[in-house]
Each structure stands twice: as structure tokens, then as C-alpha cells.
Amino acid sequence: VKIARFSTGGDPRFGIVDGDELVVLRGDPMFAGFDTTDERVPLADAKLLAPVIPRSKVVAVGKNYVDHVAEFGGEVPEEPLLFLKPNTSVIGPGDTIVRPPQSRRVDFEGELAIVIGSIAKNVAAEDAAQVIFGYTIANDVTARDLQKKDGQWARAKGFDTFCPLGPVIETEYEVATGTVETRLNGTVAQAAPFTDMVHGIGAIVAHVTAAFTMLPGDVILTGTPAGVGAMVGGDVVEVTVSGIGTLSNPVR
Ligand code: MG
């Protein structure tokens, strides 16, 4: 099912997407289960929010598509290359990506995002599904000039608004048949099947949880395919993952 976190003016609530309506849930389904109420809210009346606020961290995988590694030169890492984005970088669908004054080159990176559903440490690749709540869409926004200048990626990947997530979490997603496509002002910039990933979902979850304890609500970004590019003020960037939806954000 598709889970949305939304507001109709008051506190954030959760709902299951049913056609053009949301079936309102009692509490956060990650913790309270799928406890439905009788209330339905038209999607048109709901402001969708980031479907999850990562409890402790966003872990991201770099260089996980061969053709993306090729566009910058360099080697495909033998193991998943990990970096962190702070949870304060997360924004929701429709929210504005803000280019910081420190950077002259801010790029989009459309990605599939794993939403962790339980405390996870040292999870074997074949057991990954047991700790995954679902999948959503991410834009791993990157200050490309600062990524090169700083040598490490904390600032370049971690500015406020640099991790759009959403619009929904799909809890029954079949990654093997999925695709990602990123459009800048309607023009396709990135398009790839998830079978192009160097390291698959199981290997990523195993590698991440061998290093970090992941908490329910933490998120893992799985890497971006070729075609990343710069965004400027007035642009609109859309990331579509088949079977999940489209994450759209304006840029300022
Ligand atoms: Mg990335």
C-alpha cells in the first residue's frame, strides 16, 4: 500500500492512498500498524509532507551505477561507498530546494530510497526485507563544487533542503522491475532500471547495518544513475519511480 504523511492545516497525520483520497490512519503505521479510521480526505485537500522524518540519519550510497561513475571518471567501488545526510536536510514533495550562497553548482540526483522499519544491526543480505518498511523517492541534492573542494561530502550533501523525500512510501515494492527517471523542467535527464545498480538492496542493507545501527524511520538512498546535472532558481525537478509516484520540487 501507499502511505502518505499529510496535513490539512493541523498536525501531520498518516493515510493510505485510495484512488484520489486518503484513508486516515490512527497514528504512524510504522509503530501503530495500519489502524484505519472512518475519515477520508481528498488528496486535493491534503498537503503531502515528507513521508518519513529519518529518526537518526539518512545513509546514502555513492557511485552505485556504472554509467554514473563513468560520467565523473574513477573506479566503481568494490563495496558500497557510504556517506551521511543529516535529517535536517529532509523536505517534502513540493517544498523548495534552496541553493545556498556558498555553492555555484547544485545538482539533482534522482534515487530510490529504502525506509527502515525496525532496529537493524548486522542484517544479512537475504534478511533485508525483514527490516524494510517500504520504499520512497529521494533527490540526493549535491553542491558539486563543494563536494570537490571539501574532499569529504558532509557539507556538499547536507545543506538544509538537500534531501527531498516522497511523495509516499510504497510498502509492497518490487525493486527488480522498477525504474527511475529524473526530469528537469520536463526534459528527461536520468533514466535507468534498478537492475543497473552495482550493489543491490540486500547488499546495501547488509553493508550499512554492519557499520551503523539503523532505527525505524531511518532512510538509505541507493545511488543515482548517469545524467546528473545542475539546477538554478526557477527550475522544477521531478523524480519518478515506477510504481511509487513522482517527487517534484521547485528550486530557488
Ligand atoms: Mg547520490
* 9-50 pLDDT per residue, tens: 999 999 999 999 999 999 999 999 999 999 999 999 999 999
- Residue 234 Cα to ligand 1 middle (Å): 22
Q: What is the pLDDT of residues 44-89, one digit of tens each?
A: 999 999 999 999 999 999 999 999 888 988 888 899 999 999 999 9
List beta partners, residue 213.
none
- Residue 109 Cα to ligand 1 middle (Å): 6
Is pLDDT at 114 greater than 90 in this prediction? Answer: yes
pLDDT over 90 percentage in the chain = 96
- Residue 15 Cα to ligand 1 middle (Å): 29
Is pLDDT at 7 greater than 90 in this prediction? Answer: yes
Neighbours of ion ligand 1 (CB under 5 A): 109, 140, 224
- Residue 42 Cα to ligand 1 middle (Å): 33
- Residue 224 Cα to ligand 1 middle (Å): 5
Residues counted in the chain: 252
- Residue 142 Cα to ligand 1 middle (Å): 8
Tell me whether strands 163-170 and 90-91 are parallel, antiparallel or unpaired.
Answer: parallel
| C-alpha to C-alpha distance for 231 and 148, rounded to whole angstroms | 17
